[in-house]
Structure 1
Amino acid sequence: MESLGEYWKRFRTSSSQSVVLQVVNLGLLLSGALVAYKILSFITQAESPIVVVLSESMEPTIRRGDLLFLSNYKAPYTTGDIVVYLIPGREVPIVHRVVKVHEDASDSDPQILTKGDNNFADDIQLYEGRRWLTRELIIGKAYMIIPYAGMVR
């Protein structure tokens, strides 16, 4: 396998036709990746079907750098599910486990309480004035985890 420096040297001495072909190939590769991401987003009904875990709050179950695949179907949440949610005004989504599901008979939308596996307390203090999380704040429920796949070194 050639080093990046050797590749760059070979690239600089290439003909203009070869350079154009490489740029077109790169464009096709990036376009294909974007289309695949959008198709996955449509199939899973999740705005962000793939997320990288950024903190240690779910260790040892999920570690920093793990890749999570999410779905956002209208299936009910159960205690033990791992969900990703985003509080308005915050930039980083939170990955935590459902510890309690509260279903009000007057409301068809379940309300959930979450907690990180590595945290001592539940997440009520993160909900900013709410007592429960509702479906509109949830990005998705994790259905597959790939360890360390999101870790770039």
Structure 2
Amino acid sequence: MAIRRILLQALSLVSSLTPVMLLYSGVGVLANTQSPVVVVLSGSMEPAFQRGDILFMTNPPHQQYRTGDIVVYKVPGAEIPIVHRVVQARDIVQQQENTEEDVRLPADGDVKWFMQPEVKAVSWRSEDRENGKSVRDQLILTKGDNNDVDDVGLYIGFDRLQRKHIVGKVRGFLPYVGYASIVMNEMPRVKYAFFAALGLASLF
């Protein structure tokens, strides 16, 4: 009987968590992002966001990011996503074919060249979108409001972010609500104690 009771309580706990997981997944589908909610883990965006704030994001497929937008991005090789502000965003437009395999991207200037698998060579200018040219992607530079330098050193092997690296644009936040998750991640004993207490509570 005791085992049956424990199994029933465990089933009840799983049943109570399932709607939450489904809701989270549904919000992710509507927002076009795998992580519609994230927790701020550092103070790099102070005073706009504090450590422990919960951010809500969307990532519409045709969203064009602009200077001043606050975005969350994740690059290959990075363990966690980063929330920082866009300080430079340029549209990539198809300009002409180029068979060169190695074209460098200068730091400044009106016309830049950037290699992509689907477009052999493209140029980008801030005015291209207004001139009606076909925008294929974007080159994005970010920086934390509380940091002295931009994020190029965090991009691991390239000079600018592209849209595929953007998890979403911040649309709103709740202050400090996510601090408990930071405590549990930084103090594993607290996390284990919390889940143990949750499991015991489900038995009564």
Match 2:12 to one of 15, 21, 25 = 25
1:6 aligns to what?
none
The alignment partner of 1:43 has SS state of helix
1:9 aligns to what?
none
1:87 aligns to what?
75
- For 2:79 and 2:5, locate their aligned partners in 1 and report how far apart those are by CA, in whole Å: 42
Q: Structure 2 matches for 1:4-153, cutoff 5 A?
A: 21-73=8-60, 74-106=62-94, 108-152=136-180
1:56 counterpart letter in structure 2: G
Percent of paired sites with the same residue: 45
- For 1:105 and 1:85, locate their aligned partners in 2 and report how far apart those are by CA, in whole Å: 22
Query: Gaps spanning 5+ residues in structure 2: where?
Result: 95-134, 184-204
Shift in Å, 1:32: 0.8
2:57 counterpart letter in structure 1: L
Aligned positions, number:
140
2:139 counterpart letter in structure 1: Q
- For 1:20 and 1:124, locate their aligned partners in 2 and report how far apart those are by CA, in whole Å: 51
2:52 counterpart letter in structure 1: G
- For 2:175 and 2:142, locate their aligned partners in 1 and report how far apart those are by CA, in whole Å: 22
CA offsets, 1:70-117, max 9 Å, x none?
Answer: 111121111111111111111111110001111233252011110000
Query: Alignment RMSD, CA only?
Result: 1.8
Is the 8 Å Cα contact of residues 138 and 163 (structure 2) preserved in structure 1? yes
Shift in Å, 1:19: 5.0
The alignment partner of 1:55 has SS state of coil
Deviates more, 1:22-31 or 1:69-78: 22-31
Larger gyration radius, structure 1 or structure 2: 2
1:114 counterpart letter in structure 2: T
TM-score by length of 2: 0.63
